């Protein structure tokens, strides 16, 4: 009866983590809303941009890139924001309000396994998103990027940082109804000043947005995607710093219980 307790072999922990990732994936793909908002919005956006700009060459407005070369990486970044930051903040607020998080707490599943499971799930979804957008871009004549390791690193680091920020926002929001509004209120202006929808040619604005999380992520993807440069360490460092700040808030403030003590 008690022989099996208090003995947690590392192999069992790995199996537990894999088990958790599988069920996060299953819950995600079964939910039509989450699948819709995570994939359809960025896919529609890149298809529109592709149809509009597929014949354009390089221009100084896009820093010497073609419009599509600019938009594939920024919309890819946008899709990662959606599947990590927005999705996680909203889903966790909902799960807390519904009492699902409290139920998770009632099982022996350790908190690290729950959050690592979510993180791995979000990275997988982000990878699918980025692959979709790159694929659609290539349909419109955009050449495939060559520096995959730099893209992979930016993707994983960006996804992890925006997951941490998503959990941080979920920790600060009190009720789930407010979650989508708060998430969008923070994200929308940030996307605009970070050049996601159009290039920004203001040095002052770029300096400000360069210290916020979205523009460094855009830049870290733009380089290896379109300009054939490699690892963008400076921007990756800014991203990592935001991720660490988000993680600190999440660890300090996260609640499992729907009602405060």
Partner 1 sequence: MRTQVTSAAGMDTRAASRPGTPSASAVVVAGLRKSYGPVQAVRGVSFTVQRGEIFALLGPNGAGKTTILEILEGFRTRDAGRVDVLGADPGDRSEGRALRERIGLVLQDIAVEPYLTVRETIARNAGYYPASRDVGEVIRLVGLAGQERQKVRNLSGGQKRRLDLALGLIGNPDLLFLDEPTTGFDPNARRDAWEVVRNLRGAGTTIVLTTHYMDEAQALADRVAVISDGQIVATGTPATIGGRDHAQAQIRFVLPEGSTAADLPADATSVDGLVTMQTAEPTQTLHQLTGWALQRGTVLGQLTVDRPSLEDIYLRLTDHGAPESRPQRSTR
Residues that bind partner 1 (CB under 8 A): 1-2, 4-8, 12, 16, 19-20, 23, 26-27, 30-31, 98-100, 102-103, 105-110, 257, 261
- Other C-beta atoms closer than 10 Å to the C-beta of 160 total 21
Q: Residue 181 Cβ, how far from partner 1 at the closest point, in Å?
A: 22
Output 34 or 47, the one with its CB closest to partner 1: 34
Q: Residue 17 Cβ, how far from partner 1 at the closest point, in Å?
A: 11
Tokens of 173: 């929001």
Output 11 or 203, the one with its CB closest to partner 1: 11
DSSP H or E segment with residue 205: helix 203-211
Output 60 or 261, the one with its CB closest to partner 1: 261
Quick one: which of 185, 20, 210 has its CA closest to 90?
185
Distance CA 208, CA 219 (A): 14
Q: Residue 258 Cβ, how far from partner 1 at the closest point, in Å?
A: 8
Residue 124 burial (C-beta neighbours within 10 Å; 0-12, 13-18, 19+)? middle
Distance CA 102, CA 45 (A): 37
Quick one: which of 64, 65, 71, 36 has its CA closest to 50?
71
Output 73 or 117, the one with its CB closest to partner 1: 117
Distance CA 67, CA 47 (A): 13
Q: Residue 80 Cβ, how far from partner 1 at the closest point, in Å?
A: 23
Output 19 or 207, the one with its CB closest to partner 1: 19
Q: Residue 41 Cβ, how far from partner 1 at the closest point, in Å?
A: 20
Output 109 or 186, the one with its CB closest to partner 1: 109
Distance CA 259, CA 232 (A): 43
- Other C-beta atoms closer than 10 Å to the C-beta of 236 total 20
- Cα 229 from chain centroid? 22
Q: Residue 35 Cβ, how far from partner 1 at the closest point, in Å?
A: 10
- Cα 57 from chain centroid? 30
């Amino acid at each position: 009866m008690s022989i099996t307790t208090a003995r947690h072999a590392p192999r069992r922990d790995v199996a537990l983590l894999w088990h958790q990732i599988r069920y996060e994936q299953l819950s995600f793909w079964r939910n039509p809303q989450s699948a819709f908002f995570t994939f359809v919005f960025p896919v529609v956006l890149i298809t529109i941009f592709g149809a509009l700009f597929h014949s354009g060459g390089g221009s100084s407005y896009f820093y010497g890139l073609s419009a599509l070369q600019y938009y594939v990486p920024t919309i890819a970044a946008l899709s990662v924001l959606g599947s990590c930051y927005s999705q996680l903040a909203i889903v966790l607020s909902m799960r807390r309000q519904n009492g699902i998080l409290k139920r998770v707490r009632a099982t022996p599943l350790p908190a690290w396994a729950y959050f690592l499971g979510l993180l791995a799930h979000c990275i997988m979804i982000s990878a699918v998103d980025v692959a979709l957008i790159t694929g659609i871009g290539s349909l419109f004549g955009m050449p495939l990027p060559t520096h995959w390791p730099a893209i992979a690193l930016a993707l994983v680091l960006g996804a992890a940082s925006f997951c941490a920020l998503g959990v941080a926002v979920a920790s600060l929001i009190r009720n789930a109804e407010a979650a989508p509004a708060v998430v969008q209120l923070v994200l929308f202006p940030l996307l605009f000043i970070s050049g996601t929808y159009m290039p920004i040619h203001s040095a002052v604005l770029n300096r400000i947005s360069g210290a916020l999380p979205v523009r460094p992520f855009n830049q870290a993807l733009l380089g290896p995607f379109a300009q054939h440069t490699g690892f963008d360490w400076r921007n990756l460092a800014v991203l990592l710093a935001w991720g660490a700040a988000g993680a600190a808030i999440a660890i300090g403030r996260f609640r499992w219980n729907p009602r405060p003590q």
